[in-house]
Structures are given as structure tokens and as C-alpha cells.
């Protein structure tokens, strides 16, 4: 079997004395979509924010355990370099309001002062927007402000912005929770297409969304990884009673 | 009986509404009268010579206020050079650290500084700068004005930057952009209109200050471009000439008042315009 892109070993996260994640150990497979599912406040968002080291930006936040990206310890890396290798898309679309669409896509290069010639940048912009299924809608308006797009388009712009950095892994933190059903469907289609080429971790509290899009599912409850496995298996024959109860709507 | 009570209440209601409208209208009047009076008295002396020539000695008619206009601009440039970087930095710190000892202390001190009488600031600048340098100067006047500008800039910068969504900062950090670049290239540009508005309003606030300049810039009947020599400024000129016994000088003082008021009004309009024009949509 191929080595996992991301691997956590006994990973714990804290806010002060409050333990948010308890001994999470899991492996994320290359070019698959892994869904983190669980009720609100279970720690799934904290887990993905630990992957790109955004968790530690909050005062008093600490972690323990190991988190390996391609076998390299993320917590031994420079956090800034780690974040460049790990793309993230947030709950609410957050394109940069002062930049046009073109600059938003290459924001990762521009803000970091990475110099590439114009032709190279043009290529990155087109490729990223095509991958994010936004090219056809915006190709004539590349120099308009990103904030004039609709919510769903803005979110795809944010996906393009993350893709432009050619990340090893993409973290999508409830990317559809602020969107209408039509835009949600669009983003879900996009995720299924993207996982051919990118490893994706999707945080969702929507059971149906996890079932529709993911290859593997992790069920997290009260900071514990209750069950982790292929989505089909987890949804049809859950091993843990809590998973079964969550899937059948007894709580959550 | 019942009907009378009802009528009385209705009357009270009407009376209150009328009173509020009349009083609010009254608050427009001072500005209108000031503008009217200053324009009426000042407009007669304003012409090209008035803006470009130096004041004439007593007894000669004509003359201008070019030394005061240049002096005021010099003072404002010195003040901005000092107060803008300091104030914006403090504003960034306060917006980024909503709690904490240093934030609490900075907020408290800035608030108190705002309330310190301008004459006191003038005296302090005199003791600190004029005495050691042994000369009145544009430099010391600029420092006094900078101290007065600082609280306005800090507060507006803090308020502006606080309104910028946290998600924007996260978006930048998640792309691997270092913290300082996130602040300088994402957060500050998003709040630029507010920051510039704050700076302009603080300039408008100090442009007409006289008291802090009495012991610092001191005034000067001649043109001076040396930062370390006394300079004249518009409010100082008004203060000195209006108190003189010569009608020619009174005319100059009226004209200088008009120039000052128009300058401040333009700054205010410009600030309003900027807030609208540069507003960033999130």
C-alpha cells in the first residue's frame, strides 16, 4: 500500500487546560477525499486547523503527539512553510477585498514575494481557475474585484487561490455551510473532480455530504476519533454504537 | 375629563417633537454664522498678493501671509512625519491585542492624552525641546502638534482595523504569508480609507491650534524654511495681528482666518469623500 500523505499519532490539542482532541491517530490516503464528520463542537475543525498550524495562533492553544506530512513532522517545520504546502478553504468565502480576481488567485505568490514572470502567472491563474470550475464564468472579468462574485463563485475563487500554491493536501472547513443548495451542489461536484489530483480533507457536519463525496470518513465525537474507515463500510456497517446512533439521527 | 387628558398628551407629544427639531436646527447656526462672518470680513483682502507676499510693516497697506501658510505646512509635515507612523503602529497593536496589560495601558494613556489642554502640551514641548536647543523652532512646534494628533490617529486606526474580519487575516496566514506581511499587505490595505480619514481629521484638528505654538514655533514676520528657526503659522498670525491696534493688520487676521477655515473645511470634505470612495466591500 502507498504511504499516507498525512498521518497523525496520538494527537491531542488543548485550549489552556481544556482538552479538545484526545489521542487522534489516523492516516489520510493520497488523492482521496477524507471526510471529518461529527456534531458541532466535537473538535473536527480544531483537527484541521492543527494540520496547517492555525490552531496555535490562538493564545493558550497547545498540542501534543505527532503529525506527519509525507513522513515529515509538521510541528518540526517552519509553520509558514508548512502552511504553504497545505491549502485551506474556510467556512465563509474570504477573497481579499482589495484585490481583483487575478490577484486573488496568485495571492499566495504575491503576498509571499515569490517572483514569477507574467506568462507563468497567467498560466497558474488559468489552470487554478479551470480546476476550480470558475474559468468560464470569470475569464472576461479577471480584473474585477473578487468580492463582486456570488457567494458560491467566491468560494470557488478561494479554492482556486489554495490550488494555485500546488498544495500537498487541501483542507476544506465546512466549505458549503454559508452557501445556498445550488452552490453547495456545485462545490460538491467540484470536490469529487478535484480528488483525482489533490488529497482533500473535508470537514462537515452534514452526514449526507460526507456520504456523497468522500472515500474515507472519520467520525469524531467529543474530541475522540470514534470510527475511521472507508465511507461505504462506515455508513453501511458501522462498528461503533455511537456511529450508528449519529448516522440514524439519534443525536447530533 | 377623559378627552382632556388625551388632548394634553397629544400636545405634550407635539411640543416635544417641535422642541427637538428646533434645537437640532440651532446646532447648525454657529457654523453658518462663523462662515458668514469670516467670509464677509476676510474675502475683501484675499487676492493673489495676499497668498504670496510677506506682511508689510505697520503703516503700509497690502501685504500677505505667505510666511504663515508656509510655516503651517512645515509644522504639519513635521507633525505628520512623527505622529502617523507612531499612531498607526499603536492602532495596529491595539486592534491585534484586544486584551492585555500593554493594550490597557496604551488605551488609557491615549485617552488621557486626548484630554490634556493644548497649552500644557506647548509648555512641555518648550521644556523638552526649545530649552535644550536654545531656540524656538518649527521642529518643536511640530512635535507639540504631533502629540495632539497622536490620540486621534491611534483611536481611528484601532477602530478601523478592528472592523476588518478575522477571516481575512486567516486567509492570508493559511497561504503561508508571515504575520507582518499579512498585517501590512492585507489588513492595512483593507482599512486604508479609515486610516487615511483618521490622519486627515487629526490634521484638521491641529491645523488651527494656537496655544501649543506660542512657546514653540513662536511666530516670525519673515519667511523661514529652516526647521530649527522660529516660523509663523496661520493661527499664530491671527492671534498676534488681531490683538494689534492697527486696522491693516486686522484685515490680514481676517483673511488668514478665512484661509484657515477653508483649509480645515476642505480637509473635512476630503475625508468624507475618501471614506465613501475607498470603502472596501467585504
Residue B138, all three cell numbers: 518649527
Assess if residue B156 is contained within a domain.
Answer: yes
Assess if residue A193 is contained within a domain.
Answer: yes
Q: Which of helix, strand or coil describes residue B134?
A: coil
Q: Is the pLDDT of residue A152 over 90?
A: yes
Query: Do residues B91 and B159 both lie within one domain?
Result: yes
| pLDDT score for A147 | 86
Instruction: Return d(Cα B223, Cα B237) in angstroms, integer.
Output: 13
Query: Do residues B109 and B28 both lie within one domain?
Result: no
Residue B282 in contact with partner chain A when CB distance is under 8 A = yes
| pLDDT score for B4 | 80
Assess if residue A43 is contained within a domain.
Answer: yes
Q: Is the pLDDT of residue B202 over 80?
A: yes
Query: Do residues B117 and B134 both lie within one domain?
Result: yes
* Full residue range of the structural domain in which residue B10 is found: 2-44
Q: What is the CATH number of the domain that holds A114?
A: 3.40.50.300
Q: Is the pLDDT of residue A1 over 60?
A: no
Assess if residue A252 is contained within a domain.
Answer: no
Query: Do residues B82 and B117 both lie within one domain?
Result: yes
| CB pair distance less than 8 Å for A83 and B168 | no
- How are beta strands A216-221 and A224-230 bridged, if at all? antiparallel
Residue A250 banded pLDDT, cuts 50, 70, 90: confident
Closest residue by Cα to residue B176 from A22, A79, A100:
A79
CA A71 from centre of chain: 19
Residue B160 banded pLDDT, cuts 50, 70, 90: very high
| pLDDT score for B1 | 58
Most confident of B1-10, B49-58, B171-180, B267-276: B171-180
Query: What residues pair up with A36 in beta bridges, in sequence order?
Result: A203, A218
Top-confidence residue, B215 or A1 = B215
Instruction: Return d(Cα A51, Cα A66) in angstroms, integer.
Output: 10
Do residues A55 and A63 make contact, with C-beta atoms less than 8 angstroms apart? Answer: yes
Residue A145 in contact with partner chain B when CB distance is under 8 A = yes
CA A181 from centre of chain: 20
Q: What is the radius of gyration, based on Cα positions, of chain A?
A: 18
- pTM assigned to the model: 0.87
Instruction: Return d(Cα B4, Cα A245) in angstroms, integer.
Output: 69
Instruction: Return d(Cα A219, Cα A100) in angstroms, integer.
Output: 39
Number of folded domains that form chain B: 2
Residue A145, all three cell numbers: 474585484
Do residues A176 and A188 make contact, with C-beta atoms less than 8 angstroms apart? Answer: yes
| pLDDT score for B274 | 87
User: Tens digits of per-residue pLDDT, B249-263?
Assistant: 899 999 999 999 999
Assess if residue A120 is contained within a domain.
Answer: yes
Query: Do residues B35 and B109 both lie within one domain?
Result: no
- How are beta strands A61-69 and A224-230 bridged, if at all? unpaired
Query: Do residues B107 and B230 both lie within one domain?
Result: yes
Assess if residue B220 is contained within a domain.
Answer: yes
* Full residue range of the structural domain in which residue A150 is found: 6-247
- How are beta strands A169-173 and A199-204 bridged, if at all? parallel
| pLDDT score for A203 | 95
| CB pair distance less than 8 Å for A96 and B175 | no
Assess if residue B282 is contained within a domain.
Answer: no
Query: Do residues B23 and B91 both lie within one domain?
Result: no
Assess if residue B163 is contained within a domain.
Answer: yes
Q: Between B66-96 and B234-242, two packed helices, what is the crossing angle to 10 degrees? A: 130
Q: Where are the alpha helices (DSSP H) in A139-205?
A: 151-164, 181-194
Q: What is the CATH number of the domain that holds B216?
A: 1.10.3720.10
Query: Do residues B37 and B56 both lie within one domain?
Result: no
Instruction: Return d(Cα A100, Cα A83) in angstroms, integer.
Output: 23
| CB pair distance less than 8 Å for A82 and B176 | yes
Alpha carbon separation from A246 to A20, A225, A233, B148 (Å, rounded): 20, 13, 15, 62
Q: Is the pLDDT of residue A148 over 80?
A: yes
Q: Between A151-164 and B166-174, two packed helices, what is the crossing angle to 10 degrees? A: 30
The residues, ordered by sequence, that sit 6+ positions from B74 with a Cβ below 8 Å of its Cβ are B138, B142, B225, B227, B231
Instruction: Return d(Cα B158, Cα B155) in angstroms, integer.
Output: 5
When the pLDDT of each residue in chain A is averaged and rounded to a whole number, the result is 93
Instruction: Return d(Cα B257, Cα B249) in angstroms, integer.
Output: 12
Number of folded domains that form chain A: 1
Query: Do residues B256 and B213 both lie within one domain?
Result: yes
Longest Cα separation, chain A: 56
User: Tens digits of per-residue pLDDT, B185-198?
Assistant: 999 999 999 999 99
Residue A252 banded pLDDT, cuts 50, 70, 90: low
- Torsions phi, psi for B137 (to 5 deg): -160, 160
Query: Do residues B75 and B197 both lie within one domain?
Result: yes
Q: Between A118-131 and A151-164, two packed helices, what is the crossing angle to 10 degrees? A: 130
Q: Between B138-162 and B101-115, two packed helices, what is the crossing angle to 10 degrees? A: 130
Percent of all residues in chain B with a pLDDT value above 90, rounded to a whole number: 85
| pLDDT score for A195 | 93
Average pLDDT value for residue range A9-21:
94
- How many other β-carbons are positioned within 10 Å of the β-carbon of residue B208? 16
Q: Which of helix, strand or coil describes residue B100?
A: coil
Do residues A162 and A79 make contact, with C-beta atoms less than 8 angstroms apart? Answer: no
Assess if residue A79 is contained within a domain.
Answer: yes
Query: Do residues B39 and B155 both lie within one domain?
Result: no
Average pLDDT value for residue range A43-50:
93
Give the DSSP H/E element, type plus range, for residue A35. Answer: strand A33-37
Assess if residue A149 is contained within a domain.
Answer: yes
Chain B residues whose beta carbon lies within 8 Å of the beta carbon of residue A52: 174
Alpha carbon separation from B170 to A61, A113, B183, B207 (Å, rounded): 16, 18, 11, 39
Q: What is the radius of gyration, based on Cα positions, of chain B?
A: 24
Residue A114 in contact with partner chain B when CB distance is under 8 A = no
Give the DSSP H/E element, type plus range, for residue A199. Answer: strand A199-204
User: Tens digits of per-residue pLDDT, B7-34?
Assistant: 899 999 999 999 999 999 999 999 999 9
Q: How many residues does chain A have?
A: 252
Q: Which of B170, B174, B182, B184 to mutate to test the interface with A (most CBs of A within 10 A)?
A: B174
Residue B280 in contact with partner chain A when CB distance is under 8 A = yes
* Minimum distance, in Å, between the CA of residue B170 and any CA atom of chain A: 8
Assess if residue B170 is contained within a domain.
Answer: yes
If 0-12 CB within 10 Å is exposed, 13-18 middle and 19+ buried, where does residue A170 land?
A: buried
Instruction: Return d(Cα A156, Cα A163) in angstroms, integer.
Output: 10
Do residues B232 and B137 make contact, with C-beta atoms less than 8 angstroms apart? Answer: no
Average pLDDT value for residue range B171-183:
95
Query: Do residues B69 and B29 both lie within one domain?
Result: no
Residue A38, all three cell numbers: 461529527
Torsion angle, alpha carbons of B6, B7, B9, B15, to 10? 170
DSSP-derived letter for residue B129 is I
Instruction: Return d(Cα A31, Cα A167) in angstroms, integer.
Output: 12
| CB pair distance less than 8 Å for A107 and B281 | no
Instruction: Return d(Cα B49, Cα B64) in angstroms, integer.
Output: 6
Assess if residue A49 is contained within a domain.
Answer: yes
Assess if residue B193 is contained within a domain.
Answer: yes
Average pLDDT value for residue range A46-75:
93
When the pLDDT of each residue in chain B is averaged and rounded to a whole number, the result is 93
Assess if residue A1 is contained within a domain.
Answer: no
Chain A residues whose beta carbon lies within 8 Å of the beta carbon of residue B186: 96, 98, 111
Do residues B155 and B106 make contact, with C-beta atoms less than 8 angstroms apart? Answer: no
From the list A111, A147, A148, the residue facing B177 with the nearest CB is A111
Amino acid at each position: 500500500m502507498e504511504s499516507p500523505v498525512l498521518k497523525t499519532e496520538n494527537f491531542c490539542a488543548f485550549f489552556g487546560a481544556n482538552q479538545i482532541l484526545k489521542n487522534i491517530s489516523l492516516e489520510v490516503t493520497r488523492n482521496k477525499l477524507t471526510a471529518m464528520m461529527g456534531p458541532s463542537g466535537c473538535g473536527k475543525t480544531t483537527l484541521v486547523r492543527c494540520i496547517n498550524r492555525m490552531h496555535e495562533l490562538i493564545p493558550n492553544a497547545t498540542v501534543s503527539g505527532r503529525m506527519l506530512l509525507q513522513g515529515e513532522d509538521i510541528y518540526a517545520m517552519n509553520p509558514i512553510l508548512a502552511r504553504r504546502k497545505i491549502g485551506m478553504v474556510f467556512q465563509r468565502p474570504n477573497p481579499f477585498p482589495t484585490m481583483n480576481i487575478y490577484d486573488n488567485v496568485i495571492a499566495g505568490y504575491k503576498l509571499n514575494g515569490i517572483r514569477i514572470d507574467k506568462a507563468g502567472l497567467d498560466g497558474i491563474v488559468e489552470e487554478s481557475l479551470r480546476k476550480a470550475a470558475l474559468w468560464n464564468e470569470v475569464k472576461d472579468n479577471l480584473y474585477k474585484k473578487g468580492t463582486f462574485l456570488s457567494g458560491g463563485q467566491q468560494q470557488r475563487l478561494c479554492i482556486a487561490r489554495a490550488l494555485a500554491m500546488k498544495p500537498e493536501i487541501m483542507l476544506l472547513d465546512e466549505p458549503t455551510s454559508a452557501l445556498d443548495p445550488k452552490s453547495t451542489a456545485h462545490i460538491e461536484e467540484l470536490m469529487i473532480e478535484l480528488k483525482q489530483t489533490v488529497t482533500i480533507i473535508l470537514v462537515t457536519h452534514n452526514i449526507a455530504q460526507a456520504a456523497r463525496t468522500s472515500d474515507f470518513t472519520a467520525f469524531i465525537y467529543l474530541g475522540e476519533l470514534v470510527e475511521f474507515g472507508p465511507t461505504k463500510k462506515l455508513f453501511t456497517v458501522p462498528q461503533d454504537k455511537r456511529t450508528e446512533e449519529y448516522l440514524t439521527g439519534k443525536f447530533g | 375629563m377623559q378627552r382632556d387628558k388625551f388632548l394634553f398628551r397629544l400636545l405634550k407629544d407635539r411640543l416635544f417633537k417641535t422642541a427637538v427639531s428646533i434645537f437640532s436646527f440651532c446646532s447648525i447656526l454657529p457654523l453658518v454664522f462663523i462662515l458668514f462672518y469670516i467670509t464677509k470680513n476676510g474675502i475683501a483682502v484675499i487676492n493673489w498678493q495676499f497668498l504670496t507676499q510677506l506682511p508689510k510693516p505697520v503703516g503700509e497697506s497690502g501685504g500677505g501671509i505667505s510666511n504663515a501658510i508656509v510655516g503651517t505646512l512645515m509644522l504639519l509635515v513635521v507633525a505628520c512625519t512623527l505622529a502617523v507612523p507612531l499612531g498607526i503602529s499603536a492602532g495596529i497593536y491595539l486592534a491585534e491585542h484586544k486584551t492585555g496589560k500593554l493594550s490597557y495601558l496604551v488605551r488609557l494613556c491615549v485617552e488621557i492624552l486626548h484630554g490634556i489642554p493644548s497649552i500644557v502640551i506647548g509648555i512641555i514641548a518648550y521644556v523638552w525641546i526649545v530649552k535644550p536647543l536654545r531656540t524656538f523652532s518649527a521642529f518643536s512646534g511640530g512635535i507639540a502638534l504631533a502629540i495632539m494628533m497622536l490620540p486621534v490617529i491611534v483611536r481611528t486606526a484601532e477602530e478601523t482595523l478592528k472592523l476588518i474580519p478575522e477571516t481575512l487575516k486567516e486567509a492570508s496566514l493559511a497561504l503561508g504569508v508571515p504575520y507582518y506581511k499579512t498585517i501590512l499587505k492585507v489588513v492595512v490595505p483593507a482599512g486604508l480609507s479609515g486610516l487615511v480619514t483618521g490622519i486627515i481629521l487629526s490634521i484638521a484638528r491641529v491645523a488651527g491650534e494656537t496655544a501649543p505654538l506660542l512657546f514653540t514655533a513662536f511666530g516670525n514676520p519673515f519667511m523661514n524654511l529652516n526647521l530649527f528657526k522660529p516660523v509663523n503659522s496661520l493661527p499664530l498670525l491671527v492671534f498676534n495681528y488681531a490683538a494689534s491696534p492697527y486696522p491693516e493688520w486686522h484685515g490680514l487676521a481676517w483673511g488668514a482666518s478665512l484661509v484657515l477655515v477653508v483649509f480645515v473645511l476642505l480637509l473635512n470634505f476630503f475625508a468624507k469623500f475618501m471614506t465613501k470612495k475607498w470603502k472596501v466591500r467585504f
